[in-house]
Amino acid sequence: MSWNAYTDSLKSTGKIDKAALYSAAGDSLWAESGGFQIAPQEIQAIAGAYSDPLNLQAHGLHIEGQKYFLLRADDRSVYGKLDDTGIVAVKTKQAIVVAHYPSGVQPQEATAVVEKLADYLIGVGY
């Protein structure tokens, strides 16, 4: 299975409209679906937040040039909200799964889908 199959799988749930997979360091894009244009400094900020969330807490979560209200930042997950849309980013052993949910999707539905994929990737060694 290619990495794009995972991002496509997230989109196929109807809960996610854009998704990307990066290396855990945030320095390499593995897959992208939905035209997700995350700037290098944006993914680097997320990658850094798993060990030290202070930068995101101080400056906010930025994705595609938009500032999201930071809801959660810990050693596994980063969640952000902008109006009625949001970002879910979950770190696995070797990857970061980043997903955007559109208006009309409940945040807990989107986070459940992304967290489930992250659990699967961790289970298979990624």
CA angle 65, 3, 87 (to 5 degrees): 30
- Secondary structure of residue 66 in the 3-state scheme: strand
Interatomic CA distance for residues 32 and 64, integer angstroms: 13
Structure confidence at residue 1 (pLDDT):
58
Interatomic CA distance for residues 24 and 26, integer angstroms: 5
Structure confidence at residue 44 (pLDDT):
96
Nearest to 50 by CA among 69, 70, 78: 78
Catalogue all structural domains in the chain, each as residue range(s) with its CATH number: 3-124 (3.30.450.30)
pTM to 2 decimal places: 0.95
Interatomic CA distance for residues 48 and 120, integer angstroms: 23
Distances (CA, A) of 21 to 14, 104, 114: 18, 24, 11
H helices of 50-91, where? 54-59
Stretches where the chain sits below pLDDT 50 are none
